[in-house]
Structure 1
Amino acid sequence: MVKSFYKRIFASSNKRTPEKKGRLQLEPSYFYETEVCYMKYFSRFKEHYTAIIRLGIPIVIGQLGIVIVGLADNIMVGHYATSDLAAASFVNSAFNIPILFGLGFSYGLTPLVGQFFGKKDKFKIGQLLRNSLLVNGCMGVFLTLLMWIFYLNIEKMGQPAELLPLIRPYFLLQLVSLIFVMLFNSFKQFSDGITDTRTPMYIMISANVLNIIGNYILIYGKLGITPLGVVGAGISTLLSRILMFLAFAVLFYRHLAYRRYLVGYKRSHYNRTDIFSLNKMGWMVGLQMGLENGLFSVTGIMIGWLGSIALAAHQVVVAISTLGFMIYYGVGAAISVRVSNFFGKGDIRNVRATTAAGYHIILCLAFLASCLFLFSRHSIGHLFTDSAEVLQVVSVLMFLLLAFQFGDSLQITYANALRGMGDVVSMAIISFIGYFLIALPVCYICGFVLKWGITGVWLGYPVGLTLTGLMLCARFYYITRQVNKKP
């Protein structure tokens, strides 16, 4: 049918007339074969598209839930008192780095579990979970000690004296919750590795709903409770994090779907090999995520040199970009799970295919996000501020936000593919080169040496992200070629 359609359309154009003599004539078969070629190319990935979307949607929803709860916390505390909002902003900013590093550290479990899931080794998966709970628990204690040292020096951080009575109790509540965040992450990454991404999503959504309800009751003093302001938000957050860990622990012991892994968990022992592997993977992935976050943190300090207007605009656009990043990274996590499964089986053809399919999906999401950013560039800033000066800068920076969507999608795809194959050392080295040896100097030179201001600083982001993505992509295809050459 398609071929006959092209024949009818191009029949007249292919008649040999004197006027057309010597011109390049296009046969209907050329267009038909081109379309068939495209159809065959994308049909190869149909199975991978479906699997990645099925795995990725629950992860995306769970991550967006975290962002939404953070926004809800700020909105509720902000309506209670400005001083409470300022205290919460300071503490949350301080805890962003350990929480993000801890999340990246726990990601090291997923590819290890995924590879043994591909080999159908249930006993080893249970053993890995057992060792991961020990390793993540120790990391939680380590991060808690670091933040305790920070707490002991909190009065030296230059915060207004009137905020310290609010900062201290809220800080301590966040401090206690770190260990439960890390233990929950062990269960979540285990579950993602065996392709069960729905259970963590349901637990996180339930905990987020309870968190918001708890905020409303404790912050504003409902049901006869004295209004606690920011302290109430801290109590609600702590309780929700404890409940997330306990809920997953109970499910693991009671749910039939996990029983096959419970045997390996109970009968195995702590061992140096697994502890070393988890630490190697975890430190490298945590470092890679920390480097990217560190680039934005360091340049945020640099932008502060340009004044409050530039800094406010920077914070607004970074907040907007985080929504897109969380969605891309949810799909990236699904790519990592699929890649680890196929890599465990030694199926390099499908390692490449699932990575390519994941990149197609993230590119489509990046295109949709770019359209949204482009058409809302003059209005989206009103969600955060009414300052005309800030809004003007935001509308300019939105074009640069569009510019690094391609690089962001590229580096997320191939960083997660390399993580799925366990090649995390090169991933961390490439990220250091891309973000700190390339992007950061470009940000400084364009922003301050060339005196292009905040626009110049932001020019470094698309340069760094794109070059990092290209280096990660080259490393991915180098590794897969080398594996294919092995007998």
Structure 2
Amino acid sequence: MGLAVYKKEFSTNIRLAYPVILGMLGHTLIGVIDNIMVGRLGATQLAAVSLANSFVFIAMSAGIGFSTAITPIVAQGDAAKDAQTVRSAFHHGLLLCTILGICLFGVVSLATPLMHLMRQPDEVIALAKPFIGWVGFSLLPMVIFQGYKQFADGLSMTKYAMYAVIFSNVIHVGINYVLIYGIWFFPKMGMMGAAIGTVTSRVAMLIFMHYALSRNAQLKQYFSNFSFGEIKKSMLKKIVSLGLPSSMQMLFEVALFTAAVWLSGFLGKTNQAANQIALSLASMTFMFAMGLSVAAMVRVGNQKGLKDYINLRIVARSIFLLAIIIEIVFALLFITLHNYLPHWFVNAEDVVQLKDNTEVIKIAANLLIVAAVFQISDGIQVVVLGALRGLQDVKVPTVITFVAYWVIGFPISFYLGLYTPLKATGIWIGLLAGLTAAALFLYLRFNYLTKQYITGDGQPETLNVNPKPINHGTT
């Protein structure tokens, strides 16, 4: 099959994915803004933000991963013109996200003492402890927001989350600026100003999302007459059965990157700060693939609802190809600019911390070379994972991601980082190995499943399907 059949799907993929990409970039930008603004205070403060956020990001990944269970159910129900399934998935998913958000905040709060067991620098721990309390609380509005977002994404209405995140970032930057540096009559709070900015912006994001969706006339049927009497064990069980493995998939990957933060901490604060710089930049480019992953989940879910498995495969592969092209472009940019990008995050002219900052820039530049290569693998694995979620296949991919990241990736990172002269660069080579293994085996899984569906050997879920193409806007 020629490339033309895949390329003709690019415009539809981009139209659906770009609001998600901008929204995900906005989420990442909150962390990047914190890193840039706090990085101006010194390498110790940047390392402390990195350490604190590593705990929060693990919990956040579990929440975001769980919430993705809502999207394929909504997308499949929408394709089948089954409004009751869509409504049920939304209400049950929102309830579960609220409960999960509360639990994740509690877990992060209780896990704070682990910092002392991880051989992190004492001065970094002292700064990270109060920061993590505030940012940990922001998990509650963040995970509830995800419930709304995944519902809207399943209906191909991907712009709402984009607007909400843009709104929250405007608030975040403003609060950060005045509270970190003590502008006007505001107190100079340093790192804690960034923490308060994160909490406030995420609460605002949730309020915006609820208001925007509930005011949409097309969605009013899903917001009216909610009752706990509508909560059914069967839908709770279905969302949990999809959400828990999806949560574990994202958790395994984010935990691997978090382990890289901790391993870098063993090597000292300059390695930890450099790791955070490279991770921040790689995370921003990864959001493009994440947006395409959501597009894969929605479009594959739609085609599954329509039982058009041949077109399902074409749509999914077109998204895979688009992701590869985009990530190659970013890889070339990283290689070209690897000596310049780290300067965004530290003040190289600070005479007091000149030695530390110079070392941070040098280490980060080397890490970006590895990041240039691994983000191609990272992009492939996440879009294939999105397609598998659209098929509601989550259990086998969970095993694949665990093996790839923790049986293959982490041991390599651990050995090369702590027992060879490669140090931080060795840690990132392990990340590359894990992501490459995940990309390969997840694609083999997708290829196997879609062959079964096309030949009739699979067991597709029975729905009352109206076999007409879907033409939602991305409002």
**TM-score normalised by the chain length of structure 1:** 0.82
Give the number of the structure whose alpha-carbon radius of gyration is greater.
1
Match of 1:4 in 2: none
In 1: Cα distance, 2:314 partner to 2:193 partner: 49
> Which range is displaced more, 406-415 or 265-274?
265-274
- Corresponding residue number in structure 2 for 1:440: 410
Quote the residue 1:472 is aligned against: 442
Asked if residue 287 in structure 1 is aligned to residue 248 in structure 2, the reply is: yes
| Structure 2 unaligned regions, length at least 5 | 349-356, 458-475
Distance (Å, rounded) in 2 between the aligned partners of 1:450 and 1:154: 25
Report if aligned partners of 2:141, 2:206 keep a CA contact under 8 Å in 1. yes
The residue type paired with residue 245 of structure 1 is: L
Question: Is the 1:52–1:358 contact (alpha carbons within 8 Å) kept by the matching residues of 2?
Answer: yes
- CA change 1:290–1:267 in 2 (3 A) is closer
**Distance in 2 (alpha carbons) for counterparts of 1:141 and 1:224:** 34
Shift of 1:191: 0.5
- Taking a change above 3 Å as real, the CA distance of residues 335 and 265 of structure 1, as seen in their structure-2 partners, is farther
List gaps (5 residues or longer) in structure 1: 1-39
Partner amino acid, structure 2, of 1:290: L
Is residue 362 from structure 1 mapped to residue 323 from structure 2 by the alignment?
Answer: yes
Q: Any idea what the Cα deviations from partners look like across 1:181-222, whole Å, max 9, x if unmatched? A: 111110011001100000111111012112222333444455
- TM-score of the superposed pair, with normalisation by structure 2: 0.84
Quickly say closer, same or farther: Cα 1:198–1:367, change in 2 above 3 A: same
CA contact under 8 A between 1:218 and 1:228: conserved in structure 2?
Answer: yes
| Contact 1:126/1:265 (<8 A) preserved | no
- Checking the alignment, whether the CA contact within 8 Å between 1:220 and 1:227 is kept in structure 2 is yes
Q: Does residue 318 of structure 1 match 2:283?
A: no
Contact 2:62 2:251 survives alignment (8 Å): yes
**Relative contact order higher in (CA < 8 Å, ≥ 6 apart):** 2
2:306 counterpart residue number: 345
Against the structure 1 CA distance between its residues 264 and 281, is the aligned structure 2 distance closer, same or farther, given a 3 Å change threshold? farther
Which of 394, 400, 404 aligns to 2:374? It is 404
| Counterpart-to-counterpart distance in 2, 1:481 and 1:309 | 49
Q: 1:77 to 1:312 in 2, by over 3 A?
A: closer
Matched position secondary structure for 1:404: helix
Partner letter of residue 55 of structure 2?
Answer: A
**Corresponding position of 1:377:** 338
Matched with 1:329 is 290
1:98 aligns with 2:68: no
Structure 1 CA distance, aligned partners of 2:44 and 2:107?
26
Inter-partner Cα distance in structure 1 for 2:235 and 2:299: 21
CA RMSD of aligned residues (A): 3.1
* Corresponding residue for residue 15 of structure 1: none
2:138 aligned counterpart, secondary structure? helix
The code of the aligned residue for 2:436 comes to T
Aligned-partner SS, 1:196: coil
Distance 2:35 2:238 in 1: 38
Shift of 1:349: 1.2
Counterparts of 1:22-37 in structure 2, within 5 Å, are none
Alignment correspondent of 2:467: none
CA distance in 2, matches of 1:481, 1:409: 23
Indicate conservation of the 8 Å contact 2:36/2:345, yes or no. Answer: no
Aligned to 1:56: 17
Structure 1 129/458 Cα, relative in aligned 2: closer, same or farther at 3 Å? same
Distance 1:309 1:227 in 2: 25
Of all paired residues, the percent bearing the same amino acid is 29
Q: Which stretch shifts more, 79-88 or 416-425?
A: 79-88
AA in 2 matched with 1:65: G
> Is 1:66 matched up with 2:27?
yes
Determine the structure 2 residue equivalent to 1:135. Answer: 96
Match for residue 122 of structure 1 among 70, 83, 104: 83
* TM-aligned CA deviation for residue 117 of structure 1: 1.4
Q: How does 1:62-461 map to 2 (within 5 A)?
A: 62-77=23-38, 88-151=49-112, 160=122, 170-222=131-183, 224-262=185-223, 269-306=230-267, 310-385=271-346, 386=348, 387-446=357-416, 453-461=423-431
